[in-house]
Structure formats: C-alpha cells, structure tokens
C-alpha cells in the first residue's frame, strides 16, 4: 500500500478502507460536542479560493490556470479525507481547523481534482466538518449517528454556498463539482437549493462523481447527453472492466461516459479518446490512460498503465474516477462554460 501511494493520487478514505487500518469513531454522535461551526467569510476556511494562492491553481505541464479571466465559477466539494488514519481522528466529524487534515486534503483532492476545473472557472472549495469515512460503512447500530454526521457536514456546505453567493458570485454562472462524499453533498445542494429555483438559471452543469445518482433522485434536472449540453449533470463510478461485467448491476443508477459525455449503455469509447489522465507525478499528463464504457450503472475501464501501475491491483477504480479522465473533464468543463456563455 505504501508503494501505491507513490504512484497514484488516492483519496485517503479509500486508502484506509483498502488497508483496513482505520478506526471508527470512539463514541456516539453528540451535537453538543461537534467541532465549531465554520466562518466562510474568512479565506482560511476555504481550501481553494480565487482571492488566495492554493493548490487548485496548479496545472500539469503544458496547461494554464485560466481563473483570472474566467467568466464562470466552480464550487468544488472534496471527498472524505477524515479517515481514522491518526488517533486524533476518532470523532464523527472533522474540525475544519485541523491543520494536518487540511494539508492532506489540499495535497490530495484540491491539487489532483479541483485543479482540473481551473481552465473553466474560478475555483471555490470550502473546508467543511466532513463526516468520518466510517459513516459510509456503518452497521444498523451506528446508522443514526452516521446520518447526523452527514447532516452536520451538509450544513457547512449550505453555509459555504450561501457565503459564496452573497460575497463573490455577483450573478456569475457556476458549476457544481464534487467527488465521493463531496458528490453526495453536491447532489443534495442541487436538489434543495438550485433545481427548479431561480438559481438554476446560473447553473452551467454539475459533476457529481463517485456517488450513485438514481434516475429519480432529481425532479427535473437531467443527465447530460451531449458534450456541450448545459443545465444538466454528469456522474459515474469506475470499475475494472472484466470484474465489472461480472458484478455491476445497478440499472437504476445514472452513469455518464466521460469520453463520450453520454449515458448510453454499451457505447464503447477506446482509450484513443482519452485526452489524458493525471496520476503521479502531478506534472505529467498521460494520454490514452484508459478506455470507458457504461455498463449497468457503472463505468467500466481497463487497467490503466503508468509507472508503478503493477501495484494498482484493486478492481474498484473509485479512487481514480476523476483522475483517469482528468483532461476530458477539464475540456468538457471549458466546453460547457463556453456553450452557456454563448447562449
């Protein structure tokens, strides 16, 4: 597992799940003992913000950070990085002021995921009191605690989005993007505050990746079916191809092919359509890293090849949902932003 860390960005939540070394919260959820609420008027409480230097400003070789001239914003929600890897990580929700955790989030998700959107818009990524990774693997005994932890995390997302709208949006179009836990909160934000409301007129598109979106989850918001389609959402969860054909079976879940930008099942996209993935090192774009095909609610991909990929043995590619298709997501966000502004 240590060797794997050298070669590919993995959300820490998945690393701990795979290694089995994480610990669960030590006691029941107690609303009186949760970490302090987050003040989003303060730039320190944003992992990425256009008014500060941060790792979402970085780009692999040959690319350019376009945020200074962008006419669109990106509200990005990072995945779980509060995993129980440290003994201090034993509560249901993380503190947004945990310096060590924030560093892990920034050097992982913010650099390797949020940065893919800096070609399309200004990137806003709030720190939040994220739920512990154990929240997603609870027994019936812990289910009520898990719901409360996720609800608390979501209140931060609401507060951050409200602060963004009041202080920095100024009527600009925006993209909602998130991975894993971030996608879960992004879906809820879309459904409760954007879909069917006046704000939807500003929605370029949403990328809610790494979390299952059932076909009836949204009332009116539809999956994107064309690369330049706007006011729609994209979503996928990635599995190794052979394993996925045997096991994938969630036809009620929407899946987007990030090489075709369509949800059509069975349309194979060869790796020649992959403009490039970004794993380790960050500076290197790796064209044709893998292929893509929608299959029964999942995205199937062949094993990617990169230095050190011998150690990448898992069949669930959730860890690379975005990174395997970094350049395609980057270009699609640019394409959707341009289409929105033109129309």
pLDDT above 70: residue 143: yes
List the beta bridge partners of residue 126.
46
Where is pLDDT greater, at 22 or 100?
100
The angle subtended at Cα 125 by Cα 124 and Cα 128, nearest 5°, is: 140
Nearest 10 degrees: Cα torsion 50, 54, 56, 57: 70
The model's pLDDT over 51-64, given as tens digits with 9 standing for 90+, comes to 999 999 999 999 99
Residue 4: its pLDDT value, please?
A: 29
Q: What is the pLDDT of residues 184-197, one digit of tens each?
A: 999 999 999 999 99
User: Residue 19 has what pLDDT?
Assistant: 37
Average pLDDT of the segment spanning 32-47:
97
Q: How confident is the model at residue 11 (pLDDT cuts 50, 70, 90)?
A: very low
What does each C-alpha distance from 295 to 79, 253, 321 come to in angstroms? Answer: 24, 10, 15
Percentage of residues in the chain having pLDDT higher than 70: 94
SS3 content of the chain, % helix, strand, coil (to 5): 40, 15, 45
Residue range 303-321: mean pLDDT, rounded: 88
Give yes or no for a contact between 199 and 171, defined as CB atoms under 8 angstroms apart: no
d(CA 15, CA 22): 9
pLDDT at position 178, please? 98
- Is residue 23 exposed (0-12), middle (13-18) or buried (19+ Cβ within 10 Å)? middle
pLDDT at 24: 79
Residue that the structure tokens 């704000």 belong to: 199
Q: Which residues of 252-286 are buried (b: 16+ CB within 10 A; e: fewer)?
A: ebbbbbbbbbbbeeeeebebebbbbbbbbebeebb
pLDDT of residue 317: 95
25-34 pLDDT, tens digit per residue, is 888 999 999 9
Mean pLDDT value of segment 132-141: 86
pLDDT of residue 22: 52
Q: What is the pLDDT of residue 192?
A: 98
Per-residue model confidence (pLDDT) at position 86: 78
Query: pLDDT tens, 190-218?
Result: 999 999 999 999 999 999 999 999 999 99
Q: Does 175 have pLDDT greater than 50?
A: yes
Residue 20 pLDDT > 80, yes or no? no
Q: What is the pLDDT of residue 12?
A: 39
User: Average per-residue pLDDT in the chain?
Assistant: 92
Please tell me the pTM assigned to this model: 0.93
| Residue scoring higher pLDDT (303 or 15) | 303
Mean pLDDT of 68-85: 96
Average pLDDT score over residue span 282-300? 98
**pLDDT 10s digits, 227-283:** 999 999 999 999 999 999 998 899 999 999 999 999 999 899 999 999 999 998 999
d(CA 78, CA 47): 9
Residue 5: predicted pLDDT: 29
Q: What percent of the chain has pLDDT over 90?
A: 84
Residues 102-117: pLDDT tens digits? 999 999 999 999 999 9
| R_g over Cα of the chain | 19
Domain ranges of the chain: 2-342
């Amino acid at each position: 597992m240590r060797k794997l860390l050298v070669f590919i960005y993995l959300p820490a939540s998945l690393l701990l799940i795979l290694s089995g070394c994480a610990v669960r919260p030590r006691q029941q959820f107690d609303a009186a003992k949760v970490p302090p609420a987050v003040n989003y008027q303060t730039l320190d409480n944003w992992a990425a913000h256009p008014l500060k230097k941060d790792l979402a400003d970085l780009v692999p070789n040959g690319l350019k950070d376009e945020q200074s001239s962008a006419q669109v914003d990106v509200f990005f929600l990072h995945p779980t990085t509060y995993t129980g890897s440290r003994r201090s990580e034993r509560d249901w929700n993380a503190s947004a002021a945990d310096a060590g955790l924030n560093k892990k989030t920034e050097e992982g998700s913010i650099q390797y995921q949020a940065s893919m959107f800096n070609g399309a818009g200004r990137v806003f990524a709030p720190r939040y009191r994220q739920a512990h990774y154990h929240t997603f693997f609870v027994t019936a005994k812990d289910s009520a605690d898990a719901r409360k932890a996720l609800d608390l995390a979501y209140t931060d997302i609401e507060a951050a989005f409200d602060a963004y709208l009041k202080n920095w949006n100024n009527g600009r179009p925006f993209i909602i993007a998130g991975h894993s836990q971030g996608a879960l909160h992004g879906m809820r934000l879309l459904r409760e505050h954007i879909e069917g409301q006046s704000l939807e007129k500003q929605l370029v598109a949403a990328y809610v990746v790494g979390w299952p979106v059932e076909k009836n989850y949204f009332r009116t918001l539809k999956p994107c079916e064309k690369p330049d389609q706007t006011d729609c959402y994209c979503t996928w969860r990635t599995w190794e191809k052979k394993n996925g054909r045997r096991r994938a079976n969630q036809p009620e879940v929407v899946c987007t092919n990030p090489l075709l930008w369509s949800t059509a099942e069975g349309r194979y996209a060869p790796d020649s359509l992959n403009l490039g993935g970004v794993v380790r090192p960050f500076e290197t774009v790796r064209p044709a890293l893998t292929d893509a095909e929608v299959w029964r609610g999942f995205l199937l991909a062949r094993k990617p090849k990169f230095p050190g990929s011998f150690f990448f043995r898992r069949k669930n590619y959730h860890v690379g949902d975005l990174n395997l298709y970094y350049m395609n997501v980057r270009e699609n966000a640019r394409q959707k932003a341009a289409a929105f502004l033109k129309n």
